[in-house]
């Protein structure tokens, strides 16, 4: 009696068509319940799988969306970085042009310095190496002149990647060439500095200064009629007319090698400037230096007088080269700083 329900059966009737016979299935209740339970479990599993898949898909979509945003942000950032690098390449190329111009200016300055110092100028010096299209990009109208004014403009001309790469290569070549140029210039400037210093030293020890303030030449170097005997004679220096007690200046740096007085030269001073080059100042009223004194160009060494063989106040000035009197006139070029 307990399992009576197990004996009960369900009858399934299938009516395919009006002309066909009816099909009957008799299924025990137990089978029907098991089938229903299986169906329910299957449905539950399917639903669970569907829900889980949906959740996973949603999660993936969310993650994908996040990753996509990150990629977009990274891409935008990279684009900006590339753009910034492009601009930096352009700025560097502008700087290369500016440095190139400055190097040329320095070369010109060096040549001017040489001209002023009376040195040989270097006009054959190689120009700063320049790439063929530096300053502008091939195929574009990008102007990279140094725009120092605030007002700039023009039509927009986008620059391609290839243009930038080419400009970068040219800029690198320019900087490499500039590096070499600057090194050459440093060497050249050091040499020029030494030459100018040598020239300055030479100028200091060369008797180029006028020994009196008046610059009035009353008797030149060479043959003349002697003012005392009225006979032809040789004048071994230059006479400068001046008032008594006018200052007498040393015409170059040097050292006093003698001071003295005699009936011909009167009170006189001899200064040695270099080995073999001396100046001699005669007929002084007063000697203001002593033997052995170091002398600088322009120093006041005595006062004009008319001592010795002289007709009136004047300075007899001689330049001696290796003991021989030479014409002082070609040396007299410079004026004193206080004039």
List of residues contacting Zn ion (CB under 5 A): 239, 316
Query: Least Å distance between CB 128 and Zn ion?
Result: 57
Judged by beta carbon, residue 239 or residue 253, the one nearer Zn ion is 239
Query: Least Å distance between CB 219 and Zn ion?
Result: 6
User: Burial code of 248-281, b = ≥16 C-beta within 10 A, e = fewer?
Assistant: bbbbbbbebeebeeeeebbbbbbbbbeeebbbbb
Query: Least Å distance between CB 214 and Zn ion?
Result: 15
Dist CA 69 CA 72 (whole Å): 5
Judged by beta carbon, residue 93 or residue 251, the one nearer Zn ion is 251
Query: Least Å distance between CB 310 and Zn ion?
Result: 8
Judged by beta carbon, residue 237 or residue 298, the one nearer Zn ion is 237
Judged by beta carbon, residue 135 or residue 211, the one nearer Zn ion is 211
Residue 287: strand, helix, or coil: strand
Which run of H or E residues covers position 258?
Answer: strand 254-262
Q: Where are the alpha helices (DSSP H) in the chain?
A: 4-7, 29-117, 161-204
Dist CA 76 CA 64 (whole Å): 18
Query: Least Å distance between CB 235 and Zn ion?
Result: 6
Q: Could you tell me if 331 and 207 are in contact, meaning their C-beta atoms sit under 8 angstroms apart?
A: yes
Judged by beta carbon, residue 135 or residue 237, the one nearer Zn ion is 237
Query: Least Å distance between CB 238 and Zn ion?
Result: 7
Q: Which of 80, 76, 81, 87 is nearest to 164 (CA)?
A: 87
Dist CA 251 CA 132 (whole Å): 55
Dist CA 169 CA 131 (whole Å): 10
Q: Which of 253, 328, 249 is nearest to 288 (CA)?
A: 249
Q: Which residues, including other chains, have CB under 8 Å from residue 303's CB and lie 6 or more apart? A: 244, 245, 246, 247, 248, 284, 285, 286, 288
Query: Least Å distance between CB 237 and Zn ion?
Result: 5
- Which residue's Cβ has the minimum distance to Zn ion? 316
Judged by beta carbon, residue 135 or residue 266, the one nearer Zn ion is 266
- Tokens for 130? 């320049």
Instruction: Look up tokens 């008319």; give the residue.
Output: 306
Residue 71: strand, helix, or coil: helix
Query: Least Å distance between CB 299 and Zn ion?
Result: 22
Query: Least Å distance between CB 246 and Zn ion?
Result: 16
C-alpha to C-alpha distances, 194 to 190, 204, 253, 275, 284, nearest whole angstrom: 6, 15, 19, 22, 39
Judged by beta carbon, residue 68 or residue 233, the one nearer Zn ion is 233
Judged by beta carbon, residue 107 or residue 316, the one nearer Zn ion is 316
Judged by beta carbon, residue 100 or residue 316, the one nearer Zn ion is 316
């Amino acid at each position: 009696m307990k399992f009576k329900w197990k004996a009960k059966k369900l009858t399934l009737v299938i009516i395919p068509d009006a002309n066909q016979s009816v099909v009957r299935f008799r299924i025990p209740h137990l089978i029907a319940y098991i089938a229903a339970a299986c169906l329910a479990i299957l449905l539950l599993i399917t639903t669970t799988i569907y829900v889980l898949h949906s959740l996973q898909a949603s999660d993936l979509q969310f993650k994908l969306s996040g990753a996509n945003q990150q990629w977009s942000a990274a891409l935008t950032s990279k684009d900006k970085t590339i753009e910034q690098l492009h601009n930096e390449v352009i700025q560097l190329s502008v700087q290369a042009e500016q440095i190139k111009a400055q190097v040329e200016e320095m070369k010109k300055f060096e040549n001017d310095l040489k001209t002023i110092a009376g040195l040989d100028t270097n006009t054959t010096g190689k120009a700063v190496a320049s790439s063929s299209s530096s300053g502008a990009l091939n195929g574009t109208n990008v102007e990279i002149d140094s725009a120092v004014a605030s007002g700039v403009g023009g039509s927009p001309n986008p620059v391609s990647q290839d243009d930038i790469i080419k400009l970068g290569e040219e800029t690198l070549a320019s900087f490499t060439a500039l590096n070499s140029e600057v090194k050459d210039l440093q060497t050249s400037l050091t040499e020029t500095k030494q030459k100018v210093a040598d020239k300055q030293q030479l100028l200091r020890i060369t008797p180029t200064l006028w020994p009196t303030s008046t610059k009035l030449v009353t008797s030149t170097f060479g043959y003349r009629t002697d003012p005392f005997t009225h006979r032809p004679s040789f004048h071994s220096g230059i006479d400068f007319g001046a008032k008594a007690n006018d200052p007498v200046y040393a015409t170059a740096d040097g050292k006093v090698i003698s001071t003295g007085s005699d009936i011909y030269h009167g009170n006189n001073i001899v200064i040695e400037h270099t080995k073999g080059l001396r100046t001699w100042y005669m007929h002084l009223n007063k000697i203001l230096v002593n033997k052995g004194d170091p002398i600088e160009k322009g120093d006041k060494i005595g006062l004009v007088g008319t001592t010795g063989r002289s007709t009136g106040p004047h300075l007899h000035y001689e330049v001696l080269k290796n003991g021989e009197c030479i014409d002082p006139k070609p040396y007299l070029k410079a004026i004193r700083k206080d004039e």
